[in-house]
Structure 1
Amino acid sequence: MENFEKLFNQFLNCVQTLQNVLNVSFTDALVETFDNLEQGKIKVENGAPDEKTVEELSKKYQAIDYDHISQKDKAQVFTFLTLKAVNDDGLDANQMPTPPAISTVVAMLMHKLLKDEEMEIVDPAVGTGNMLFSIISQLKALNHSKDNYQLVGIDNDEEMLNLTDVAAHLNDIDIELYCQDALMPWMCPNADAIVSDLPIGYYPIDENAKNFENHAKKGHSFAHLLLIEQIIKNLKSDGYAFLVVPKSILSGKIGADFMPWLTKKVYLKAIVELPDDMFRNKFNQKSILVFQNHGSEAKPSEVLLTKLDSLKKEQSLIQFNVKLDEWYTKINR
C-alpha cells in the first residue's frame, strides 16, 4: 500500500505539473500524461510545454520508470486519478464512476443470462468506462479468460471518451467509441446486450424528445426514460439490457405510467434494489433493471425481485448469488 501511495503521488505530481504549465483541466492533463508515458516522449505543441518543463517532466517520468510498472498498477493509478479528475473539474454527478460492487452484481446477472458466444455489448452512457471495463474483466475471468465481446461506448462528452480510451488501453480492452448524443440514431449496429448506469435528469432537446413515446407532455422529458426506450430500439431480438436506474421509475407516480409501457415492450427478468447505504438520500436510490427484448427465443418468466443487503458485508453477494441460482434454475425447468 505504501508503494502504491508513492506511485500515485508521483503520477499526480506529473499531471499537476502539466496542468499548471498548459493551463488545462485536470482531465486533459491526465490524458496527456498517460499518452506521453505510453509514447515514451513528451508532446510539444506551439512551444508548450516549454523546454524547462520538458526537462523537468523527463526527470519525473524517469523516476516513475513506467515500462516496469505492472499493467494492473497502471490501471489502478489511472482509476484513482480519474476520480480526482471528476472531483477537481467539477464534472456532473452523472459522470461519477459506478461503484465496483454494483459492477460485480451486474456481472453476476450477465454471466447467468448471456450465452457463452461472440456478442456485441454497447454502453450508451459509457462515461469513464469504469463500469463496462470492470464487468468485462469479471466476465472474462468467469469464462476462463475467453474474450467473446465486441465493445462499443457512446458518450456526448469528448473529455470522458478520452479517459475511456486510456482506461481501455491500460485494461487491455478493445472498444469502439462514438462521441454523440445517445438519443440520436446510433452509429453502431444493434447490440446483443446493452449495459449502462443511466444518467439521470432532464433532456434539453424537446424537439428530439418528441420522437419518443415517453416524452413529457409539458416541459423537458426525463433523459433516463427516453434512454431506456432508445435502448429497446437498439437491442437485437432476444437481446438483454442490464441497466442501473433510479428506483423512482419502478414505482410511485412515474412508475405507474412507465412500467406498464415497459412490460408491453419487453420481458422483465430482474429488479435488484441496491442497498440504502450506497446513497446519501432516498431520492438518489437506484436499482438494477434487467429485461429481454421480444424475439423467437424470448419468453415471459418469473421476475427476480430482491433487495441487496449492505455490499460492505461480503455475505451479501454470497446470499444474492444463491437467490440468483435458485431463480435461474426455477425459470429454466
Structure 2
Amino acid sequence: MKDDKIEGLYTYLDDTATLLEENGLGTYLEGLVEAGENLFREEIRQLLPDDQVKVLKQTLEKVLQQEISPEEVRKAYQLAVLKGMKGAVQPHHSMTPDAVSLFISYLVNKVLGKRQDHVTLLDLAVGSGNLVSTLLNHATTHLQAFAFEVDETLLKLAFVNANLQKHELNLFHQDSVEPIALQEVDIVVTDLPVGFYPKDDVARDYELRSSQGHSLIHHLMMEQAIQKTKAGGFLFFVIPNFLFESEQAKHLHEYVKKETNILGLLHLPKSMFQSEQFGKSIFMLQKKGESTKQPKQALLAELPSFTKKEALADMMKQINGWFEAELSIK
C-alpha cells in the first residue's frame, strides 16, 4: 500500500511539473517547486487552460484524500527531483543517494542516542533537502536543523520539501563559505561540493586557503563546519575518495588533526559509482573538547553493497562494537 501512495504522489508531482514546463512556466525543477506549493496550499495556483487545471485538480484531490507520511513524501519528491536533475545541465545539481542518507542517519543517531536536550544540526550544502529530511525523519531525538544553499532553485525545492514533511528547518539562501551568522551547533552533516571556490577575498580569511590560485571549496567548507561546531560535537562529511591525495591534502590533514579527533572513514560501495575516480566516503570527526579523546583505533571500513542485507547487518554489528569499545556508546 505504501508504494501506491508514493507512486500516486510522484505521478501528481511529475504531471504538474511536466505540464508547467510544457506551458513555458519554467524548468521541470521549477515546476516541482510549484507542484509542491499547490499540494501544501491544496489548490492549483498557476494560470493554465481550464481543461489542464481540471486534470491537475483531479490528481491533486486523489493525493489529498490519502494519509501520507513524511517519509513517503520525501521518497516521492526525491524521485521527481532525480528526474529533473537528469535533465538539468548544472553539474552541482546532484543528490545524496537514499541508501547513503539512511546510513548517515544511523551513524548520527548512534552518536546522539536518545538525548533529551536541544540538539542543533547544520548542513552547509543542503541541495534539495533529501539528506537533511532523511535525518529529521529518522532522528531518535528532536533536531533543530539549519541549512545553507547558494542555488535558488535547489533552495526552493528544499523549502517545499520541508513544508510538505512538516519539518522545522531553518533555510538560508547564502554561500556558506562566506561569514555566517549562526551559533555553534552540536552536529554537522554535509555532502561536500567539490571544486574551486572563486571568491579569493573570502577565502583569504581561512587557514585552508590556497597559497596560489583559487582555494578548494571542499576544504574551506570543512574548515567552516569545524569552526561552527561546539567542542565535543560531531561532523559527518560525504567526501570524494581523492580528498587526501591533492597537493593541499597535507595542509588539510594537519588542520583536521589539530581541531578534531578523527573517528573514522567509511568507503561507500564501489558499485554505487560509475568508476573508481568518482568514489566517495563518509568521513567522521569529533571536535576536540575537554572530555573528548582520540580513539585508539579509527573506524576504517569498506562498506558492502547496500543491497546485500546480511553483509550490511554484519558490518553494522562491527560498527556498533567499535562505538562501544572506542567511544563507550552503546
TM-score, scaled to structure 2: 0.89
Pairing 1:67–2:69 present? no
Residue in 1 that maps onto 2:101: 103
Q: Which runs of 5+ in 2 are unaligned?
A: none
Residue in 1 that maps onto 2:215: 221
Residue in 1 that maps onto 2:130: 130
Equivalenced residues, count: 320
Residue in 1 that maps onto 2:53: 57
- Greater Cα offset, 19-28 or 277-286: 19-28
Matched AA of 1:88: G
Change (3 A) 1:14 1:332: closer
Aligned partners of 1:275 and 1:267: how far apart in 2? 25
Aligned partners of 1:232 and 1:69: how far apart in 2? 43
Offset at residue 122 of structure 1 (A): 0.5
Residue in 2 that maps onto 1:275: 269
> 1:42·1:54 contact (CA, 8 Å) conserved in 2?
no
Query: SS where residue 57 of structure 2 aligns?
Result: helix
Matched AA of 1:215: R
Residue in 2 that maps onto 1:25: 27
> 1:14·1:57 contact (CA, 8 Å) conserved in 2?
no
> 2:74·2:133 contact (CA, 8 Å) conserved in 1?
no
> 2:162·2:169 contact (CA, 8 Å) conserved in 1?
yes
Query: SS where residue 43 of structure 1 aligns?
Result: coil
Residue in 1 that maps onto 2:187: 193
Aligned partners of 1:295 and 1:3: how far apart in 2? 46
- Greater Cα offset, 96-105 or 193-202: 96-105
Residue in 1 that maps onto 2:85: 86
Matched AA of 2:250: A
Aligned partners of 1:275 and 1:81: how far apart in 2? 25
Offset at residue 6 of structure 1 (A): 5.9
Offset at residue 161 of structure 1 (A): 1.1
Deviations 1:220-240 (A, max 9, x none): 111001110111111111111
Residue in 2 that maps onto 1:236: 230
Offset at residue 16 of structure 1 (A): 1.7
Q: Which runs of 5+ in 1 are unaligned?
A: none
Residue in 1 that maps onto 2:75: 76
Query: SS where residue 305 of structure 2 aligns?
Result: coil
Aligned partners of 1:38 and 1:272: how far apart in 2? 38
Deviations 1:125-165 (A, max 9, x none): 000110111122222xxx3xxx4110111011111111111
Match of 1:325 among 320, 324, 327: 320
Query: SS where residue 242 of structure 2 aligns?
Result: helix
Aligned partners of 2:212 and 2:96: how far apart in 1? 32
Query: SS where residue 120 of structure 2 aligns?
Result: strand
Aligned partners of 2:59 and 2:325: how far apart in 1? 57
Residue in 2 that maps onto 1:255: 249
Matched AA of 1:25: T
Matched AA of 1:68: Q
TM-score, scaled to structure 1: 0.89
Change (3 A) 1:55 1:195: same
Query: SS where residue 31 of structure 1 aligns?
Result: helix
Change (3 A) 1:309 1:251: farther
> 1:119·1:148 contact (CA, 8 Å) conserved in 2?
yes
Match of 2:162 among 162, 168, 172: 168
Offset at residue 288 of structure 1 (A): 0.7
Aligned partners of 1:68 and 1:6: how far apart in 2? 11
> 1:178·1:187 contact (CA, 8 Å) conserved in 2?
no
Pairing 1:40–2:39 present? no
Change (3 A) 1:74 1:148: closer
Query: SS where residue 192 of structure 1 aligns?
Result: strand
Aligned partners of 1:57 and 1:74: how far apart in 2? 23
Offset at residue 55 of structure 1 (A): 4.8
Query: SS where residue 126 of structure 1 aligns?
Result: coil
Query: What's the C-alpha RMSD, in Å, of the aligned pairs?
Result: 2.1
> 1:182·1:227 contact (CA, 8 Å) conserved in 2?
yes
